Amino acid sequence: MEGTPTAGRRSGVARPVARPPGPRGSLLYAGIVARRDPTAYFEGIVRDHPRLAHLRLGREHVYVLGHPELVQELFVARGRALRKGRALERIRMLLGDGLLTSEGERHRTQRRLIQPALHGDRIAAYADDMVATARAYDTRWRDGEVLDLAREMSGLTLTVVGRALFGSDLREETARVAEALAALLGGFQRHLLPGADLLLRIPTPGRARMFAAIDRLDRLVRELIERRRAAPPGPDLLSTLLAHLDDDTQVRDEVMTLLLAGHETTATALTWTWWLLSEHPEVARWLHEELDTRLDGVPSYADLDRLPRTRAVFAEAMRLYPPSWILGRRTLTEVELDGWTLPAGSLCVASQWVLHRDGRFWAAPLEFAPRRWIGPDGRYDEAVPGQPRGAYLPFGLGARICVGLAFAWMEGVLVLATLARHWDPELAPGQKVEPLPAVTLRQKYGMRMRLRARR
């Protein structure tokens, strides 16, 4: 039943729950559209229902939050009444009970253990690793060479995480991880839709590929742990995990989580950044001007504040192509939102893709305009574009905000600064560009680009 807010709320009277209106049409039709173009599907829902929409997904009741006020209200003020949504329930197959997927007290304990390694002074120590890794690509790249920058960035960020967090050299493993992830994430979308439980029990080739990919990653993670255990403990996060967790499965789950969450998203963001720069030569020139005048040799931690344009370019790329494009939660209790009562067990989603491109909150929303992040004093400032709180969420919000946020910002800026100083890649002829909204917003056809040396 659709109705007005608060209808059906009289306690003790068994009346159907009143729900906000939502998209019409058959579930089958919605399923097909959502599968083919999920970002457009959610954009359409928010266009027609700008604050809150309700729809059915199989037996699930789904609420789509289209307004930042409601996103803040639910994810921050009512955070305690939520657990992770459907996608993360599924991704447990791969990540087990690591920081991204765990709940309640276990999550709080794990967060307390892991967060210090990714915050404050500790991350300054990773800057040199990040720059050294980017420099290795800088010296290997050849003028005129065509490379898939999605692969390059994925190899680069995996190597950074390996060195910084696990004290391990993963350069040899990058191809193995990239293949397993492509097999896994590409097909993952199918497992989020109604009927997925059944699909997983049917022995299809897709299912076999998925489990083989999980197996490959599992072996890599166990090798990584064994290698680290065999060497003397160091200041890295893996040594901390080994010292504090007695359960091998728990160490495995945390390492798998940090390895995947810690590289795939940053790689995706950097890849979109390269493409956006190639499409907007005037922005590339604006960026190069900063790198040519502000950097004295190889970038370092001390340079971070001197590179507002580099940061703005990375921020703007994550606005238009947010690596995490949708956030989902399930309500644990009944929740009041915008005058409606959401029953316990409802699914709530908010899409960064939609919020980041909404003309109600952004001027020239579809334009790649990094200057919007620079204040009159020439500094980068997340408040300058004037968007309301909750309209820019590349790293999520509330208690489950990305634990690697500071690490990712630093990595994005330092890698971009190191490489864009010398390189200005252009799209390879015939390369199609389309987002693939799987768990992260990947590049559907990769991103083959021709490297152009700047000097």
User: Under the rule (CB under 6 A), what is the footprint of ligand HEM?
Assistant: 99-100, 111, 118, 257-258, 261-262, 265-266, 269, 323-324, 327, 394-396, 400, 402-404, 407-408
On whether the CB atoms of residues 20 and 337 are closer than 8 A, the answer is no
Q: Which is nearer to ligand HEM, 265 or 331 (CB)?
A: 265
For residue 2, the 8-state DSSP code is B
Minimum separation from the CB atom of position 411 to ligand HEM (A):
7
Distance CA 79, CA 196 (A): 27
- Residue that has been written with the tokens 């390895």 in this structure: 259
Q: Which is nearer to ligand HEM, 5 or 73 (CB)?
A: 73
On whether the CB atoms of residues 251 and 245 are closer than 8 A, the answer is yes
Minimum separation from the CB atom of position 264 to ligand HEM (A):
8
Q: Which is nearer to ligand HEM, 15 or 106 (CB)?
A: 106
Minimum separation from the CB atom of position 345 to ligand HEM (A):
18
Minimum separation from the CB atom of position 12 to ligand HEM (A):
36
Minimum separation from the CB atom of position 419 to ligand HEM (A):
16
Closest by Cα among 325, 361, 277, 348 to 442: 325
Q: Between the CA of residue 78 and those of 9, 82, 330, what are the distances in Å? A: 19, 7, 12
Alpha carbons within 13 A on the beta-carbon side of 179: 9
30 Cβ contact list (under 8 Å, min separation 6): 23, 41, 55
Q: Which is nearer to ligand HEM, 173 or 426 (CB)?
A: 173
For residue 424, the 8-state DSSP code is -
Using alpha carbons only, what angle is made at residue 183 by residues 182 and 188, rounded to the nearest 5 degrees? 95
Minimum separation from the CB atom of position 236 to ligand HEM (A):
12
Q: Which is nearer to ligand HEM, 188 or 395 (CB)?
A: 395
Distance CA 305, CA 380 (A): 9
Q: Which is nearer to ligand HEM, 83 or 452 (CB)?
A: 83
Distance CA 443, CA 154 (A): 12
Q: Which is nearer to ligand HEM, 328 or 385 (CB)?
A: 328
130 Cβ contact list (under 8 Å, min separation 6): 160, 164, 410, 411, 414, 415
For residue 21, the 8-state DSSP code is -
Minimum separation from the CB atom of position 111 to ligand HEM (A):
5
Minimum separation from the CB atom of position 131 to ligand HEM (A):
16
Please state the length of the chain.
Answer: 455
Map residue 133 onto helix, strand or coil.
Answer: helix
Of all residues in this chain, which one has the CB nearest to ligand HEM in the complex?
404
Q: Which is nearer to ligand HEM, 95 or 184 (CB)?
A: 95
